[in-house]
Structure 1
C-alpha cells in the first residue's frame, strides 16, 4: 500500500473560531479524566459553541517510541503532515504507566450546570486533521487476549485516507507489506465525551461510566448529540479519543484512531426538563435524527445489556408514556441492541429506538 502525502495538508493548531480550545500541555490530561477538584481550562455559557482540537494518542505512546515524527516517518508521512501538538504533547507531557493511553482535552466549565441536570453536547462538525490513522492491538487487550497479537510485540496497522466517489475512505493493507488493500467508509466521531466525576480522584481514561468518558459509540457523528448526567457544578466537560471509523465492538482494541477538530455546542438541560423529556438518566444517552440511544455499561456484557434495557424502558415510559410491560414488548419487537465496544474493561451496549415509530 502506497501513501501519497502530496495530495494532503494537515490541520495544525490555530483557528479563527470565536471560541477555540487547542490541545496543549496546559489543556490536556494524558491517561486520566477530569474530576470535581480540577480547574477548568475554559468557561462558557449554556448554548455556546466551542471548537476543540482532539488529539489521537497513536504515535505518542511509549511502545511506539513516543516520537510521532519518527513513528509516522516509517509509514512515509512527511514532517509537515505530523501534528505539531502531537509532537509537543509527546515531548512535554508525562503519563504514568498505569494510566490510560488517551489524550483528553479539557475540562470545560459550563456555567450553571448542577448535579441533577443533564449536559447536552451537540456535535456540529468533525474535521479530519490528518490523512491517516492507526489501528492497534496490544497484549492482554482486545476481544481475543492471549490469541492476538500473534507475535511478541504490539501491532499498529497504518491506515491511509483516500477518496472514492467523492467521499473519504480508509485504506488498510490486506497483508503486511502488500499492495492489495481493503477500503471502508469513514464516519468520524469522538470516542471520549464526558463530564467530570465527583470527588478529587481523576478516573482512568479507559473504562466508561455514568460520567461518559470512553464510551466509543460510533453513532456520535456530526449532527448528533450526547446527554450526560452532571456530576459536579459547571459539569467540567472534556473530549478525546478521536476516530475516523470504528465498527461496533472495536474488537482489536482500537479502531481507526486519528485526530479531529470538533465543533461542539454545550447546553444545560435543567433537571425538570430532563425528567419530563428523558426520565431518570443515569448514564450516557445519545440522540440522533433517527434514534434515541440509551446505553448500558458493565464489566459483564450480560449485565451491560440488562442496564441498557432498563434505561430504554425508563426512556420510553417518560418520553412517550408507555407502560413498562408494553415498552419491553416494543423493545423486543423493534429495537436493535448493539455492542458499542468490548475492549475498554467496562463493556458497552447501546439501543437504537426509532423516533419515527412514535410520530403519531
Structure 2
C-alpha cells in the first residue's frame, strides 16, 4: 500500500492572520509532498455581514485581506519553485458579500487616478450561497431583479515572501504572487511561485465564491473558505512570474500598470515557457502563442493590474511542465480525498 499522506491542519486563529507577505514567522512547517487543510477569512475579515456594514466604517486599514500563514515548506530555498495544487476550495459560509468601495475599483477615482468628482457611492450586496445547488444569488440593491449565479470558488490571494527582505501588503500582487485575483485559481489548478527566502513562506486568503474577469468593481463575492492544498518544491525551477497549470492550460501572469504592460509581461513569460518546453526558436514560440493563446484579465483594480496568458496543453504533446508535478500533486490530493 502507498505510504500515508502527511496531512497538516492549520487551525483558524484570527490572532495569527497576516496582512502582508514577508516579515512573518511561520505558523507551521510542512514537508514537500504534504497536504495542508486550512480556513481562510474573507477580505473584510468577516466584518461586513449586511448592507449597513459599510467597509469604510467596520474595517480598519491596513487590516484588510487577511491571509492564513505563512506556511514554511521544508527544503525550499531561493531559486526553487514552490508548487501549490488546490485540491478543494469550498465556501465556509452560506453567504458572501460584495461592495463598491470609495477610491477602489476600475470605474471610479482612485489613489492613482486622481479626479475632482466624488467617488462612487459605497454600497454592500449580500449573496446567499447554496453549496448543494452550486449557486450564489445576486439581488439588486434597488429594484426587484434577482438571479442565481453558478458558484466558481477560487482564491484571489496566494503568494510567498518577496525577495531582499521586502514586505508587501496582502492587497498587492507582484512577482511573489499575492493578490492576483484571477478566476483561473480554482480547485484543480497548480500555482508555481518563485521561492525567495528559506521555506518560501506560503500564505493564502481572499476567497471568492465567484468573480468575473477583471474584478471590475474591486470586489468579488467575498466569503470565507475551507481549502485543501498539496505542496511540493521544484529545485532550481523558480519562474520569473507566478505561473499556473490546469489539466487543460498553461498560464503565465503579469502584474504592472498600465494594463498593457501587465499583458506584455504575461505574454512574454508564456512565449519563453512555450519555447523551453517545445525546444522552439523564440519567434516560432511567439507565432504559436499569438495564434492559439488566450488573454483573460484577472484584476484591473489592485495596486498593480494583473493579466493572464493561456496556452492549451494539447499543443505540448508529450512535453510536461516541471516534470509533471501538477499531475503528481493532483494524484496526491485525490488520494487524500479518497481516504477521508
Give distance in 1, aligned partners of 2:16 and 2:88. 21
C-alpha offsets along residues 114-141 of structure 1, whole Å, 9 cap, x if unaligned?
0110000000111211111111111111
* 1:162 and 2:130 aligned: yes
Give distance in 2, aligned partners of 1:200 and 1:336. 35
Offset of residue 241 of structure 1: 0.4
Is the partner of 2:172 in helix, strand or coil?
coil
Is the partner of 2:25 in helix, strand or coil?
coil
Query: What TM-score do you get using the length of structure 1 for normalisation?
Result: 0.78
Offset of residue 348 of structure 1: 0.6
Name the structure 2 match of 1:33. Answer: 20
Contact 1:218-1:247 within 8 A present in 2 as well: yes
From the superposition, tell whether residues 126 and 320 of structure 1 become closer, same or farther in structure 2 (CA, over 3 Å): same
Contact 1:45-1:110 within 8 A present in 2 as well: yes
* Mapping for residues 5-154 of structure 1, pairs under 5 Å: 18-29=7-18, 32-35=19-22, 37-58=23-44, 60=46, 66=47, 71-72=49-50, 97=61, 99=62, 101-146=64-109, 150-151=120-121, 154=122
Offset of residue 34 of structure 1: 3.0
Name the structure 1 match of 2:283. Answer: 325
Contact 1:149-1:155 within 8 A present in 2 as well: no
Name the structure 2 match of 1:340. Answer: 298
Contact 1:189-1:244 within 8 A present in 2 as well: yes
Give distance in 1, aligned partners of 2:263 and 2:43. 29
Q: How many residues align?
A: 302
Of 239, 254, 259, the residue aligned with 1:296 is 254
Is the partner of 1:327 in helix, strand or coil?
helix
* 1:217 and 2:182 aligned: yes
Offset of residue 27 of structure 1: 2.4
Give distance in 1, aligned partners of 2:180 and 2:165. 22
Is the partner of 2:14 in helix, strand or coil?
coil
Of 138, 149, 152, the residue aligned with 1:184 is 149
Contact 1:100-1:204 within 8 A present in 2 as well: no
From the superposition, tell whether residues 25 and 201 of structure 1 become closer, same or farther in structure 2 (CA, over 3 Å): farther
From the superposition, tell whether residues 148 and 194 of structure 1 become closer, same or farther in structure 2 (CA, over 3 Å): farther
* 1:174 and 2:161 aligned: no
From the superposition, tell whether residues 202 and 236 of structure 1 become closer, same or farther in structure 2 (CA, over 3 Å): same
Offset of residue 359 of structure 1: 1.9
C-alpha offsets along residues 196-236 of structure 1, whole Å, 9 cap, x if unaligned?
11344431121201110101111111111100010101101
Give RMSD over aligned pairs: 2.3
Offset of residue 167 of structure 1: 3.7
